[in-house]
Chain A
Amino acid sequence: MREISYAEAIREALQEEMKRDPSVFVMGEDVGVFGGVFGVTKGLLEAFGEERVRDTPISEAAIVGAGLGAAMMGMRPVVEIMFGDFLFCAGDQIANQVAKARFMSGGRANVPLTIRVTTGAPGSAAAQHSQSVESWFMNVPGLKIATPASPQDAKGLLKTAIRGEDPVLFFEHKMLYDTQGPVPEDESLCIPFGEAAVVRSGEDVTLVGIGGTVEKALDAADHLAAEGISAEVIDPRTLIPLDKETLIESVAKTSRVVITYEGHLRSGAGAEIAAMLAEQAIEYLDGPIFRVGARNVPLPYNPGLEAYVLPRTADIVEAAKRFW
């Protein structure tokens, strides 16, 4: 199968969906002429014109709110918020308007809105351009949350998001944009939400990775294999809905679990997964549920400090080895 990058996979999904459906359009800061600050939307302006590839002012609340209004009027906007950190500028629109419009109206509002946003630490971007804020929005019923970790998942999940009827926060990890991977040349590739991927099969311990930590969990599994420990790596792929069954099945097999995520450890995405496993799978577990996340301090600029704060492959290996 051909290999393309995570960024190319996202661009392909946008191109295919815009070709397929005239109601799909892209809107955000520097998505047009600039081609996106990470180059993801490069070429879309030339292909689809400025009506459907709209550069906006730096106005996150207006970008999301206008996306909501257009979505309720039958369009399928894909809006981009340049950094996850900037979602807070659109906080009311996301948490009070977008997420709740359908429910508050008794199920009448249709909100086919995709909010693409970058997440994770790209290296020395400091405390306001590096955060992984997925879990903030896990506490908001009405949103769906996707965290693709591979080019194929990025493409397939984005197409599902665009074709769906509900608002989706689509978290693209900045350090994955150049990652290459196999992606089928299939315009109907839609990966359903709520289906985790067993990225690597194993017997002794389950490593759950989310977005950028899936790769780290795979690296950790290599290290553990060298020491005779067989690790299974699970990527939930979407946090809402969450595929609890696959997670529970895995720990039923391995009896041990380490959950790793790049958000801050406290109340991060993995905290919810840990609580779910504690409630629903405690009988399978031989020990504590370990979490490996970012330390509970703002992300520092200095590379050494930053590396100390972020979860590392070695931290995952170390956590897994605590079972033995």
Chain B
Amino acid sequence: MTSSRSEPETRGATNLSAYSKDLLAELFRRMTLVREFELRAIAERREGLIPGFIHSCVGQEATAVGACLALQAEDVITSTHRGHGHLIGKGGDPRYMMAELAARSEGYCRGRGGSLHIADFELGILGANGIVAGGIPIAVGAALAFAMRDERRVALSFFGDGAVNEGAFHEAANLAGLWQLPVVFFCENNLYGEGTPQAEQAPIEDLARRAEGYGFPGVIVDGNDVLAVYDVTAEAISRARQGGGPTFIEGKTYRYRGHYEGDPQVYRPQEELDAWRERDAIQRFRERLIQSGQFDGEDLEAIEEDVADRLDQAVAFAQRGSEPAPEEALQGVYGDTHDGLVF
């Protein structure tokens, strides 16, 4: 990659032997955890545990996990409405996530934020977001703080294909390019902005081309290949950390479920969904792990069982959680002696 590139580069699969066994196992574990978390959350919503929206990322596990595992603990992310994968990727605890979805006091946001607003500053999760490009300028500001303090930390902003048509993306990308800030713009292009196909929302197919206008490289990656995502992101992070400025990564992927749970999905053909399921990120990675000879079926089943156990615990934790007292709604608006007061 060079910063003078005008056409985005497309990156694909890599050889498994180049990665540590621990990393491969962790990629598989977290992708499985993301998928199963979503399926459990959807089921628990039907059961009545979860009162609010769920925008699931089933199908998009590889972009979230591949990108997050390329980050260091001290790096930060901003996330989106479809953010559960990012949070788990960055180390979020499924118990506090499920409790937040269930609107419990024990949740990440004490029941005040819900799925759309989960944050954990200790893990470098600066927040999911209900506004599609809303987190992008925030990531740029975090990167600015890192650059001003010479901290060699990186901010990575996740957003979807819909967000690159909102003004905040353009203002933030321009500023980051101008100041060469340590930020990675990670666009998960799942081909739909809510219910409208990407082709009807933007005049170009490859959104990574937008990077050129802001003076930094754009890269396209197979968003259903977790190792390719990991590699491309690691390279972008490394350049950002060394003062080389931003990168725009476009991970081409697909969501299997609706924009939100309950979306009738009248806007997309079944054949398209079926074709993407054939390229399922977790299934493909599972097969490659076994083919490599580094893992056998039992190894992976053990991971899957462990994930199921963690989710049983997460659901039980959420079920046991307490209902906040109504007047707790007044807390946490302000950070000083004005907190708890309504003016």
Interface residues of A, Cβ cutoff 8 Å to B: 25, 51-52, 56-57, 59-62, 64-75, 77, 92-93, 96-97, 101-111, 141-142, 144, 164-166, 193-194, 240-242
Given contacts A25-B148, A73-B145, contact A104 B112 (CB under 8 A): yes
Q: Which among B111, B117, B144 is the interface contact of A70 at CB below 8 angstroms?
A: B144
Q: Which among B109, B117, B335, B343 is the interface contact of A241 at CB below 8 angstroms?
A: B343
Q: Which residues of A contact B112 (CB under 8 A)?
A: 103-106
In the bound assembly, the distance between CA atoms of A107 and B324 in angstroms comes to 14
| Residue among A51, A62, A164 with the highest chain B CB neighbour number at 10 A | A62
The answer on a CB contact under 8 Å between B155 and A69 is yes
Further pairs besides A68-B141, A193-B338: 4, Cβ < 8 Å:
A61-B172, A105-B119, A142-B334, A166-B335
B110 on interface, CB distance cutoff 8 Å: yes
The answer on a CB contact under 8 Å between B113 and A97 is no
Smallest CB gap from B334: residue in A? A166
In the bound assembly, the distance between CA atoms of A51 and B334 in angstroms comes to 29
Q: Which residues of B contact A72 (CB under 8 A)?
A: 121, 126, 138, 141-142
The answer on a CB contact under 8 Å between A102 and B335 is yes
Q: Which residues of B contact A73 (CB under 8 A)?
A: 76, 141-142, 145-146
In the bound assembly, the distance between CA atoms of A41 and B178 in angstroms comes to 22
B220 on interface, CB distance cutoff 8 Å: no
Q: Which among A75, A92, A107, A144 is the interface contact of B134 at CB below 8 angstroms?
A: A92
B226 on interface, CB distance cutoff 8 Å: no
Enumerate 9 A-B pairs (CB-CB under 8 Å) in ascending A order: A51-B148, A62-B168, A69-B140, A96-B130, A102-B334, A105-B127, A108-B119, A142-B334, A242-B343
B271 on interface, CB distance cutoff 8 Å: no
The answer on a CB contact under 8 Å between B338 and A59 is no
Given contacts A25-B148, A56-B175, A108-B119, contact A62 B137 (CB under 8 A): yes
The answer on a CB contact under 8 Å between A69 and B113 is no
Q: Which among B172, B333, B335 is the interface contact of A66 at CB below 8 angstroms?
A: B172
In the bound assembly, the distance between CA atoms of A184 and B127 in angstroms comes to 42
Q: Which among A65, A75, A77, A102 is the interface contact of B138 at CB below 8 angstroms?
A: A65
Q: Which residues of A contact B78 (CB under 8 A)?
A: 69
Q: Give the distance to chain A from B341, nearest Cβ to Cβ, in Å.
A: 7
Q: Which residues of B contact A70 (CB under 8 A)?
A: 141-142, 144-145, 148
In the bound assembly, the distance between CA atoms of A193 and B109 in angstroms comes to 27
The answer on a CB contact under 8 Å between A105 and B146 is no
Contact mask for chain B residues 103-125; partner A; CB cutoff 8 A; 1 contact, 0 none: 00001111111000101110000
* A-contacting residues, B141-169, CB 8 Å: 141-146, 148, 155, 167-168
In the bound assembly, the distance between CA atoms of A102 and B343 in angstroms comes to 17
The answer on a CB contact under 8 Å between A92 and B168 is yes
Q: Which among B113, B137, B145 is the interface contact of A74 at CB below 8 angstroms?
A: B145
In the bound assembly, the distance between CA atoms of A75 and B151 in angstroms comes to 13
| Residue among B111, B129, B168 with the highest chain A CB neighbour number at 10 A | B168
Q: Which among A62, A69, A241 is the interface contact of B145 at CB below 8 angstroms?
A: A69
Given contacts A51-B148, A102-B333, contact A61 B109 (CB under 8 A): no
The answer on a CB contact under 8 Å between B174 and A62 is yes
Q: Give the distance to chain A from B4, nearest Cβ to Cβ, in Å.
A: 22
In the bound assembly, the distance between CA atoms of A64 and B119 in angstroms comes to 20
The answer on a CB contact under 8 Å between B168 and A104 is no
Q: Which among B108, B110, B119, B171 is the interface contact of A62 at CB below 8 angstroms?
A: B171
Q: Give the distance to chain A from B234, nearest Cβ to Cβ, in Å.
A: 22
Q: Which residues of B contact A59 (CB under 8 A)?
A: 171, 174-175
Q: Which residues of B contact A241 (CB under 8 A)?
A: 338, 341, 343
Given contacts A51-B148, A105-B127, A107-B332, contact A69 B141 (CB under 8 A): yes
The answer on a CB contact under 8 Å between A93 and B175 is no
In the bound assembly, the distance between CA atoms of A74 and B74 in angstroms comes to 14
Q: Which residues of A contact B130 (CB under 8 A)?
A: 96
Contact mask for chain B residues 326-343; partner A; CB cutoff 8 A; 1 contact, 0 none: 000001111110110111
The answer on a CB contact under 8 Å between A109 and B137 is no
The answer on a CB contact under 8 Å between B338 and A104 is no
Q: Which residues of A contact B178 (CB under 8 A)?
A: 57
| Residue among A70, A73, A75, A240 with the highest chain B CB neighbour number at 10 A | A73
Q: Give the distance to chain A from B150, nearest Cβ to Cβ, in Å.
A: 10
In the bound assembly, the distance between CA atoms of A77 and B145 in angstroms comes to 10
Q: Give the distance to chain A from B172, nearest Cβ to Cβ, in Å.
A: 5
Smallest CB gap from B122: residue in A? A108
B139 on interface, CB distance cutoff 8 Å: yes
The answer on a CB contact under 8 Å between A93 and B331 is no
The answer on a CB contact under 8 Å between B335 and A65 is no
Smallest CB gap from B119: residue in A? A105
The answer on a CB contact under 8 Å between A97 and B126 is no
Contact mask for chain B residues 297-334; partner A; CB cutoff 8 A; 1 contact, 0 none: 00000000000000000000000000000000001111
Q: Give the distance to chain B from A301, nearest Cβ to Cβ, in Å.
A: 28
The answer on a CB contact under 8 Å between B109 and A65 is no
B131 on interface, CB distance cutoff 8 Å: yes
The 8 closest A-B pairs by CB, nearest first: A69-B141, A65-B137, A107-B332, A165-B335, A66-B141, A62-B171, A106-B109, A106-B110
Q: Which residues of B contact A97 (CB under 8 A)?
A: 129, 131, 134, 138
